[in-house]
Structure 1
């Protein structure tokens, strides 16, 4: 009985899709590795300054989002109260 060599067989469509996903994952991990390497080469103070700026911007966006949601809820309560009075 002859054994089939798995590497010589044509992969099924599902196997091919899994292999493509693994190749994509490998490429993403390589990109991440190079980014981490470049971060490790930079001075710590520079990285911390960049992170502080990002933290401030994120905080600002969060505050603006909360204010927008509060405004929408308040407007709905006001319009809901006016409709209830009529």
Structure 2
């Protein structure tokens, strides 16, 4: 299997049951997979792809447009409220 020795006397303790050994092997496999994932994410973070950057630029433009429309709507509501308040006086 992988790196964990369950033979008697390997650690001076009793040998592991098959289930315990299987669980330990899975943990070793999981740790290896997490290490691989970490390395891949570090690589992606250090060199963002052009496709991701283009998508983020598009998202930034859309967000900017929505923010501008929201500000205009709020301004319009405030202006209408002031006009109504002035007419009520």
Larger radius of gyration: 2
Higher helix share: 1
TM-score (norm 1): 0.49
TM-score (norm 2): 0.48
